[in-house]
Structure formats: C-alpha cells, structure tokens
Structure 1
C-alpha cells in the first residue's frame, strides 16, 4: 500500500517541481488521555470568536466547487510549467510562474507548504504507526468492517457513451484533476454532468455519472489530499484487507430513496453485510463519517421495513455489532442553508478579493446555488429539529452569557439596508426553511418535501408510526434507533474549532445581473461577526448542536432508543500543530479528524473487539446545551 501511495505522489504524471522548504520545528500539543486526566470544562466562547492570524482554512478546495484554490493547486502538480494547455493563442504564455507573480506571497507559500507537507507525511513511516502500535499491544482484525464516507468524499466517474460524455468515459468528473480541467475548459459540459435532472432527481438524458467503487473511491479526494487513506493504512496494519473490509461508496448527489431506485445501494449494502457475517461468523462494525452517518441511519430503517429491505426488526441485532459515528451531522448543518439559498458559506465569505473574483468568474453564486439545489442529497443536511433545537430570535440553547446576538436569529438583515428583495425581519431556522421553499422553483421544493422531513416527534406512538414513512427515516428526532439492545454506538467528533452558526445578509450589489434575492453581507466584520458570518462551536463545518445532541441527550430518551443501545461519546478537542497543513495528530477538523491519532486508535479497538475499553470523554459545554433544548420526555 505504501508503494502505491508513493507512486501516486511522485510518479511521472504528477511529479511536483516545487523545491521542498525546510519547515520550522514546533512542539506538538498532546491531548491528555481521557482515562488519566479530567479536563476542566471552561467557557470557550471567547476562544471561538478570537480569530487566528496564523492559520487559514485548509479544506476550501473540497467545499468550493472548483474554486480558485483547487485550480491554482493543480499548478503545483503539473508535469510541465504550463497550468493548462489552453487552445487560445493569446493565452499560451499563461504559466504557473506568471500566475504566482500576481498572487499574494503568503498564499503561494501556503500552497507549497500544503502540497509538499502532504507528500512528506504520506511517504513517512508514521502513516502506519497507529496500527503497528495497536498490533504490538495484541490487537488484531476481529469484526468485518464497513465504511460509509461523507458528502462529496466519493469520486464520481462518467459511464455514458453519448457524444457529450465520450471524452470523459471512466474519468472522474468529481474528485480528480480531470474535474478541475473540465471546469475550466468545458464548464457547461461539466455542469450538465454534475447536476441531476431537476424533475426526476436522477440522471439527465444522455448523462451517467456513477460513484467510484472500492477503497480508491474515498482514500484521496485529489492526489495528495487524503480522506480515508490513513484509516485504511492502520486497518491494514491490524490485518484488514479487501476480504474483511469494504468501502460502501455512494453517489452523494442523490436523494436517499433514489440511492436504492437507481443504484440499488441499500440492497447491495445489506447483501455485503449478510455475506460478511456468514463468512466470518462475526457481526460487522459500521463506520460512517459526516453525511455518511445520516445515510447509515436511513439504512437502519430501510433494512428493517417492509417498504425496504424486509429484513425484519431484528436484522440489525443479528448483523451489526457496533456503529462508529464520526463527526455525524445527525441534525444537519447550518451552512447547508446558505449553500442552497445563495451558493455561499463561510468558505466563500472569508475569501480575499482576488480569490472571490476568480471564483465568481468560474462559478458565480447563482451557478453554485443552482448546482447545490440540483443535488438533492446535499439538501439532506438542512437542519432538523426546528426552533426547539436551534433557538428563537432572542434565545438559543448554545447562547453564551452576555452574548449580544442570539444564535437563534439565523439570518439577519441590518436596519436601513432592506430593499424589495430582502425580508423586513430576521429569520429563525424555521423561518429560513420556509423562505427557501417559498422562493425556490417548484422542482426543488418537490424534491425536498418528497424526500425529507425536519420536525420533532413528541411521543413514542408518533415515532413508531414514522417507521412507515420513508421521508422520516433520515431524521433521528422523528424516528428511533434500531431495536437492537446489543448494538453499541460510538460518537466521536471534534470540538473547539470556530463554526458558522448564523449570518448577516443583504441585497445583491446594484447593477449585478442575478436572480438571487440576497447574499451574505461580507462587508460586516465586527465583534464575533466575521465577513457576515457569526461563529459558534463545532468542528469547523458542523455545529456542536448537530454533532452532540442525539449522542448526549436524544438517544438517552426512551422513545428514540427503546431497546437501550449503549451510547459512548468521545469529544476530541481541536489542538492543531501550527505549521502542519492538515493539523497533525490532534486535529479535530471535520475532515482532517479522519487522520487523528486517537480516533484511529478507537476505530481499531472497536474493530478488534475492544470497544468496551473506551470511556465517555466530554470537554465542551454540550451537556448544558442539550438540557436547554425544548424537546422533552413524554
């Protein structure tokens, strides 16, 4: 495996011509073991709103569809010095060097550090250190393991033989440099491939994109940017290989019901799990990340239901030992609201003027919003639970003492700046959801209402009735965990990284030709408002309320966990190495946490049958917040 990784990084096709720079040595911040030391729970509100001047966001390339970050990064891996072989004679002189001359020096240095640092880290022997250490302690492969990746982690490749698609046959139009080239050279064709049919939510005529399969589908997003690779390396060190481990990659653009309609995804997942249990005589361990946790929660209902896999209510009890829920956005993500509403999020709002100009030239806000809406799977992460979880205009469970602005006021508009296209009042999460559905096209509204539900079931009878409604299966506040008393659920998620929680909006700039009614007010930066974004607690992508409510409170309620499955919660503080481009062994970033040292240790323990040695470890104020949520026992 190590040889394969090295070949990817230093092979002729992608050889990096940037000279390595010597990095300054820094002291690694080590996290105290939850078994040996009790951490003091302190208010982290001030720390959350203190902006770091030394670190920039490292995962923008993933969350921005073909952003300038990714396009410039391609230059560092180019075989020749030409950024792109453009057919226009007047652009023949465009090269990486000439482009770097107009880029800020700090940006160029950070890109070099990112790419060179990633190469050095992946090539080092440390890549397998966690697995080797656990093997030396006597652990070995025990349960078969299935991995369900998160949103946008899986590469998408073209299988159509239509005239438009032939140049891209079996090439990845998501998750590769082919995506970057197609976006620049043939943007309209790329958009036609990546967007689903707006009426059916399935393939457009003549287009066929499918999720890549196998471990290669999710180990790297693009060459040099690992996602699941470190977990795969450590599992291999413990004795795992393709005979006892499996990556259940899926097309994250599809609404969950259509994963089965088009790809038979849940049927194939059910079949693999049953086969693994039959062959190995052991129940499986299911490991999910981010949106993958929502997909797996939906699968639990589908597999038992007569409307789905018809496995019966005891299927999970008979086949699944443990569920490892990594950074699961069980109640959605606030940033999904703004992505759907205006094609924006914190990642775009905080970009500098040069990057914003480049991004708008390649993909405008309106284009990004259209693309996000034409991917119904993205809308599965719209926040669930309504105002009971996310708060009212003047109150929210995670508000801090003395806080001037409540998180419950999700979308805000400055007094005196309202025009005909912007509302005349602020919005709660319920107001924002209603506004999106009222102002978007019928096809989008039909897709969301026909696929998902965002409410709260207040009685056990209501929860049980919802087991017969597939629209509810995604929502843990309207449905329950499986009837599996021996199932063990492990919630591992990051805390302590500023995460978007609310926004200020304004009307689009005068004279702009856009159908968007509003855009994030990036001109507003004061106090805890950063370029129109109000920051709260979380892992940098998903808010703490979504990461932690079900694990710490919801699944402790009888109606949501009637079989009494054991829930173990381990919070992981964000303690990045200052000069490590991905944060190092103690990062808790939403994506980079997959390379975190103690997370990998916990995964190996569960897979090896030693999960009972893992203890709860809470370092945030989540236990205080969940008690303020207005959802109660019967």
Structure 2
C-alpha cells in the first residue's frame, strides 16, 4: 500500500448494505467457526476425517458491522448503541503538526486532529455504506481520486456494468473454501501514536475459546483465507444467475468451489488440493476444470455447480432487485 492508502480503493466492499448486511443483519448470520468434516490431502486417496465439534456460538455474529469500536459494540443490540454522527464534525489540530519527524510520513489522518478522531470512534460501528462515509471524512482527497475510477453501490444505470449480449457464453466462478477468512473487525483508538494511524485493530479481542469466530480482533467467516465466500460467489450464485437485469441475455453461470485440504506432508509443498488464495493455482481439481473448459467442455460436462459452502443459502438472504 502507498502512504496515502490509494491501493485499498479496489478492495473496498461493493454493493453496500444490500450485499454485506446492515447494523442488525448479515447474509452469513448464524455461521459457526467450529470444525466441520475436512479432507485429508493424501494424493493416493482422499477421505473425510471428523473434526472435533464444539458448542455453537452462544450469540450470532453480525458481520454487517464491518468495523466496531470495541468488542462490546460488535455484540450489543443496536437499540442499546448510541451513535454520535461524525459527518460534519470539526477537525482539530493534531500534536503531529508540531512534530517535524511526522512530516516524513504525512497522511490525511494527521489532518483529523483529536476532535475528528474522537468523532469517528463515537460513531461506534460502521457498515459497508457508512464505511464509505467514514473514508470520505478521514481521507477526502484519496476518495476524490478514487471516485474517478471506482463506484461502490448498486448501479441503476446498467449501460456499462451489465453482462454482454452473449447467450452462448458461460461464466465460471472458481474459488477455494473451507478456510477461516477475515470478514469484520474490532478496532480501538491509539491516542499515543503521534505519527501513525490512530485507529488500530484490537488484537486483544477474542471470543473466549479456540474455535471462536473472533480471533485477535478479527471476525472470521468461510473463504479462501483472503477473500470471503460472499465476495467470490454471490454474483454467479444469484446476481447473474438466469435472466436478470445484470445478465439480460441469460448467460449460464456455474460455481465451482474447491474445499481446502492442507498438504499431507512436506513433500507436497503447498498441496495439490489447497483451497487457499494463490495456492489454489496448484489444485489438481481446479487445473482439470480449467483444461476441460479450454478444450470445449461445458458447465454441464463438468457436473454443474460444485458447492461446499453456504453461498446459495446466504445469497437468498440478499434482497437485491434482479
């Protein structure tokens, strides 16, 4: 990332609260991080091995609160959270202004001042939509540059974002699943960091047991260790499936998930059945699917959808006009 964080523009969640959930709901609501049956990555034979099951989460996680200032805020019912709107808050002077050494790494954060920093923290929790407002408040120059190239809501004018008129084409979404992946965060203020970003992930926030979805200030969900399932699979699962306003010619879409299995031994390197981000490029099943499609096979020839996650169930919870 650059000092101004411009490279993060492409990673900001798209679709707003409609896709990622709001203050009181999220598509993945009810997800449990306890171990499920997983495959043993033995190149001679793959078989299921029962993982040790633990009690389910005592409280359903709301992944819609992508950023919460404090673990208690992430878990508190919305009716009991008092938010103070940060929009329009007066930005004050920061002690970093008088520290010459800070100017070598100067960013827009230093223009917030403690008044602006406190205003952000007092808002308590941010969803995908309010997170954009936060970035416009914290880094307006960066967001102005980024808005020339990116949009983050749901398009009303579909002249550009819709799929082409190509009914004979097929679209495949191939990705790994079965690895706990970052989905939401617990933050804290760090007022002593004069020259650095004043908001930090609270690494002391944990769920209380080893199989908790909250680990080191990060709420985890199903994914490939980098990209959550919702991001990788939603459009092929529902947004583009059949004839929709995003897919007017009815291009066929297929989901091909590859359930992660760690290497059986060091000789396998990163594994031939890995579902991890990047490592999946060495997954034999994915390579076979790609070669077969390149050779002319259709999605039906591959066996249609191959789904291990709850992406189809989660997609149905998203109320998007199609």
Q: How does the TM-score come out when normalised to structure 1? A: 0.37
Q: CA deviation at 1:583?
A: 3.6
Structure with greater Cα Rg: 1
1:406 aligns with 2:76: no
The runs of 5 or more residues in structure 1 that have no matched partner are: 1-367, 468-478
Contact 1:491–1:569 under 8 Å retained in 2: yes
Cα distance in 1 for residues equivalent to 2:140 and 2:130: 18
Count of residues paired in the alignment: 244
Match of 1:589 in 2: 276
Query: Do structure 1's residue 577 and structure 2's residue 263 form an aligned pair?
Result: yes
Asked whether 1:631 is paired with 2:313, we answer no
Structure 1 position 600 matched with structure 2 position 298: no
Aligned in 2, Cα 1:582/1:500: closer, same or farther, shift over 3 Å? farther
- 1:564-595 deviation per Cα after TM superposition (whole angstroms, max 9, x unaligned): 11112111111112544854111100110011
CA apart distance, 1:482: 1.1
Q: Which residue of 1 aligns with 2:128?
A: 429
Displacement of 1:515 after TM fit?
A: 4.4
Q: Closer, same or farther in 2 for the Cα pair 1:503/1:400, shift >3 Å?
A: same
- After superposition, the Cα gap between the structure-2 partners of 1:485 and 1:390, relative to the gap in structure 1 and judged at 3 Å, is same
2:146 match: 448
Q: Which residue of 2 aligns with 1:385?
A: 15
* Partner SS, residue 450 of structure 1: coil
* Residues 396 and 607 of structure 1, relative CA distance in 2, 3 Å threshold: same
The alpha-carbon deviation at position 511 of structure 1 amounts to 3.2
The offset of 1:403, in angstroms, is 3.8
Q: Alpha carbons of 1:582 and 1:406: their partners in 2 closer, same or farther (altered >3 Å)?
A: farther
User: What's the CA shift for 1:617?
Assistant: 1.1
Q: Which residue does the alignment assign to 1:463?
A: 158
- Superposed, 1:38-437 pairs within 5 Å as 370=3, 372-373=5-6, 375=7, 378-400=8-30, 403-414=59-70, 421-422=117-118, 423-424=121-122, 425-437=124-136
Q: Distance in 2 between matches of 1:628 and 1:484?
A: 28
Superposed displacement of residue 522, structure 1: 1.3
User: Structure 1 stretches (4+) deviating beyond 3 angstroms?
Assistant: 401-404, 578-583
Instruction: Tell me which residue corresponds to 1:516.
Output: 197
**Which protein, 1 or 2, shows the higher relative CO under an 8 Å CA cutoff with sep ≥ 6?**
2
3-state SS of paired residue (2:275): coil
- CA deviation map 1:480-514 (0-9, x unaligned): 11111111112111111100010000112x53322
Distance 2:220 2:269 in 1: 21
Contact 1:503–1:533 (CA<8 Å) still a contact in 2? yes
CA distance in 1, matches of 2:5, 2:20: 23
Show the counterpart of 1:558.
244
Structure 2: how far apart are the matches of 1:609 and 1:552?
23
What is the aligned partner in structure 2 of residue 622 from structure 1? 311
User: How far does residue 619 in structure 1 lie from its aligned partner after superposition?
Assistant: 1.5
Structure 2: runs of 5+ lacking an equivalent: 32-57, 74-82, 84-113
Output the aligned Cα RMSD: 2.3
Cα displacement (A) at 1:432: 1.2
For residues 621 and 607 of structure 1, do their structure 2 counterparts lie closer, same or farther at Cα, with a shift above 3 Å needed?
same
Give distance in 2, aligned partners of 1:566 and 1:620: 20
State the alpha-carbon separation in 1 of the partners of residues 62 and 264 from structure 2: 32
Cα shift readout 1:63-100 (whole Å, capped 9, x = no counterpart): xxxxxxxxxxxxxxxxxxxxxxxxxxxxxxxxxxxxxx
Q: Distance in 2 between matches of 1:579 and 1:403?
A: 37
Residue-by-residue CA offset, 1:13-72 (whole Å, 9 max, x unaligned): xxxxxxxxxxxxxxxxxxxxxxxxxxxxxxxxxxxxxxxxxxxxxxxxxxxxxxxxxxxx
**SS of alignment partner, residue 586 of structure 1:** coil
TM-score (norm 2): 0.70
**Partner of 1:486 in structure 2?**
168
Contact conserved, 1:582 with 1:592, CA < 8 A, in 2? no
Cα distance 1:579–1:433, how it changes in 2: closer, same or farther (>3 A)?
farther
- Partner SS, residue 577 of structure 1: coil
Residue 219 of structure 2 aligns to a residue in which SS? strand
Query: What SS does the corresponding residue of 1:451 show, helix, strand or coil?
Result: coil
> How many angstroms does 1:431 deviate by?
1.2
- Pair 452,582 (structure 1): closer, same or farther in 2 beyond 3 Å: farther
- Equivalent position SS for 1:503: strand
In 1, Cα distance between the equivalents of 2:185 and 2:269? 27
Report the CA distance between 1:538 and its aligned residue.
0.8
